[in-house]
Structures are given as structure tokens and as C-alpha cells.
Amino acid sequence: MPPPDSEKLPRLSIALIPVYALIALLYGAIRYLDASPHIPIILACSAAGLIALYLGYTWKHLLDSIVKSISIALPSILILLAIGILIGVWVASGIVPLMIDYGLKLLSPTYFLVASCLICSVVSLATGSSWSTIATVGVALIGAAQGLDISLPMVAGAIVSGSYFGDKLSPLSETTNLAPAVAGSELFEHIKHMLYTTLPSMLIALTLYLVLGLYYNANGTDIEKVHALSASLHEQFNLTPLLLLAPISILVLIAFKIPALPAILAGALFGGIFGMWIQEITIGEMLTAMQYGYVSETGNAQTDQLLSRGGMSSMEYTISLVLCSMSFGGLMEGTGMLKSIVQSLLNTTHKTGRIVASTVATCIGMNIIVPDQYLSIIMPGRMYKSAFKKAKLAPKNLSRCLEDAGTLTSPLIPWNTCGAWVLGALMVDPFVYLPFAFLNLISPILSVIYGYTGWTMTPELKTDSIEEPVQ
């Protein structure tokens, strides 16, 4: 049977069946079975495929749709593999430990909330991982806060804000690479565009933390856990400022408009050279770090947990999740079901402000209903990509919205994978620290405000002209 007329879209009631199946399967698997989202997504793909066959599509058409969708994510997958190599090399070479140590030295007992937010920002920027930062430095800061008798929900909010600030802006972060890949924008243009919402949100958050912190007398602090972490870094690595030449090399390459993939690989190469020179690591050990990551064996549990990471193999979970999600998106798009849903959602959404507000609301809804931050980026990104294009908005506007709402609100939901992780690490319920996670609350609001005012909303094909807003 030939494929049906592409101009005739499936009824909305039929198009929503795979979506309902996806939501039910993911919610049940993650909420009640503590399972990963991969298999539920594959089962939802099966449901979408069966409905597509019922509508008259051939298996070849479905397979082509899946392959086409996955091909969109291939550049991001290559970058993720390169990032895995880079992280493994930079940890083994002492570059990440050096940046973490510099971050720890920012700790000021008098301004504990501000310092906690800044420390987590530095560590998360260096590692590209909010989860690792929260589970290591965050735990140490919570322990110090208990000794200072500072409100743990406030400290947890500052830790989450700082960790997700670094995660959101770090080119090593998985979500920072995923959002532009889904939206069709370029990595470093995406990061630069996010500064318009992220930096003001961070400045407001730091001001609020400063005001809150002034109510606490932090004299005579007990920050042994933080000092122990810093000491263990110095015992394990030769921490010299020369190591900063590797990250500086990436910044120089970026300044010369070198694409992300070769810039990251060059940074890994420089890091490997410095590691073999300064840390006296063998070539074999460096190759192992590239493939399997660095394994820390200091005896300090916090240090070992923070530094045992990286390598290409560490990206398998994320890459496989991207493949599964893009397969579902390809089936939904190739059979017209996604277009049918989008058209019903966008019937009254034509102006820039409404498009941005709808995107932000959808990302937050995905974090609540389908509790995984990756899906809160991938699914809305696929849904609203055509709407942004029709409104003549550059793809980086969409990728910014996906991060402002999808990435940043994920740790605020207790049953979301990110919220559950923070709860397990800090032992503070997300609903309790939610009012103090100022960055995560303010950034989505600013994104919507920019949408309605048109400020920083870049027109399509003018990605270098951020100053020209769309009214």
C-alpha cells in the first residue's frame, strides 16, 4: 500500500495515541519501576509504528523517517564523544582539579550563600555536570552549612542555582549540546545567546543570596569538608597554573571561529600533552582515560566521586537515549502525527511572545508529566522547530528557550530524574528548596519577557546580529 497523501494529516485523536503511550510508559517506568527511559521510548516507538502502518505508511517509509531524524543528532553525538574524551583527559591531567580548587578558594564564610552559588558555578563549568557538582561539592557545602546553622533549603537552592548555571553554559554539558542539536543552531552561538537570560538571572540570584546571607553570622566556621577536598586535590595532582593553557587554547580557537568538534579535540590534545608532562602520566594511561575515563583512588570518597568520570564510554547512556528519542520524533514527524499535534497547539500562537511562552510552558509540562530533562528538550524542540521557522526566528532562540525551561526546571520537580538526584544527594526535598533556586525560577520568566518584548530575539539568517530584535 502506498503512503497516504502527505497533505492529509491524521486526526488529532489518532496522533495523540503515541504521545499518551509515551507519557504513560515513561511515567510508570521511571516513577514506579526506577527504570531508565530507553525501553519505554522504544515501546512508544512501536505504538507509533503500528498506528502509522494502520494509516497506510510502509515500513520503508518509517525506517527512512527514523534514519533521517537520527542523522540530525549525529553532529551532537560526535561532539558528545569528543567531550567524553576531553573530560577524561582534563581530569587525568589535573586541569579539572585545578579549576575545582580555584573554585573552592572562593568560599567566604561571611557570604556563605553567595560563595556556595559561585563555587558550584565554577566546578560545574569545569566539569560540565550539575549532578557531579551537587553530589560532591554540594554535599560538602551542605555539611559546612549545618555547622554554621544556616538554612539548608537556602543553601540547597544556592547549590542548585550555581550547579545549573555552570551546566547550562559549559560546552562540556550534555544538555548544552543537545538543545542546539535539536533546534538546529550552533553550539557556541547557542551559549552566547543564552547569556542574555542566564547572566541577568544569575546577578539577581546572587543579590538575593547576599540579602539572605546578611541575616546569618558566619564567624567561626567549620568548613573542614571543603578544606579536605582541596587538600586531597593537591595531594593527587601537581596543580600549576600552566594547566590553564589547555582551556585557554579552546577559547582561542573559538575566537577564531573554529567549529566545536575540532576545538574540543584540540583542547583534549593539549590537555593530554600537559598531563604527560606535568603529571607524568604514560601514553597508555592517557588513552585509557580517553576511552574509559579517569578513576580516582585517593581514599577520599568525595574526591574519588568527583574525579572518577569522563571517557567516550561515559556518553553511552546519553547517546542511546538521544537515538531512542530521535527515533520516536522521526516516526511522529514522518507520518504527519507531530504536525497534526503542533498545528492544533499553534492555532492561536502566531506572535513571537506566544510562541516563546508556549515553548516554555511545554518544556515545564514535560518535566512534570514525563520526568526527564532530556525529553523536555528533545520533544518540545521537535514540536516547535517549525513554528520558530515560520515566525522567521533564528534556531538559537528556540534552543535558548529549551534550556531556560527544560534544563533549569528539571531539578525543581521531586519525581523528575534530576529532582530525585538532588534529593538523594543533599537530602533536601526539591519542593522545600524550590523557592530559593532563584536562577532556575527567574530564567524561564525572563525568556518569556524577552519573547513578548522582542528584545534579543534574533531574526532567522542573522545569527550574528543579536542587536536586531524581532518586534
pLDDT in tens, 215-267: 765 444 455 666 777 788 888 889 899 998 888 887 788 667 787 788 889 98
Which residues of the chain fall below pLDDT 50?
1-2, 218-221, 463-471
Instruction: List the domain boundaries for the chain.
Output: 75-315
Who contacts 301 (Cβ-Cβ below 8 Å, separation ≥6)?
none
Cell numbers at residue 112, please?
556563605
Predicted local confidence at residue 468, as pLDDT = 39
Predicted local confidence at residue 193, as pLDDT = 93
Q: Is 243 within 8 Å of 98 (Cβ atoms)?
A: yes
Determine the Cα–Cα distance for residues 311 and 70; give it in Å rounded to an integer: 23
Predicted local confidence at residue 148, as pLDDT = 61
Number of other CB atoms surrounding residue 447 within 10 Å: 28
Q: Is 120 within 8 Å of 166 (Cβ atoms)?
A: yes
> pTM higher than 0.85, yes or no?
no
pLDDT, tens digit (0-9, with 9 covering 90-100), for 104-160: 676 666 688 998 999 899 888 877 878 778 876 787 777 667 656 678 899 999 999
Predicted local confidence at residue 67, as pLDDT = 92
Cell numbers at residue 324, please?
531512542
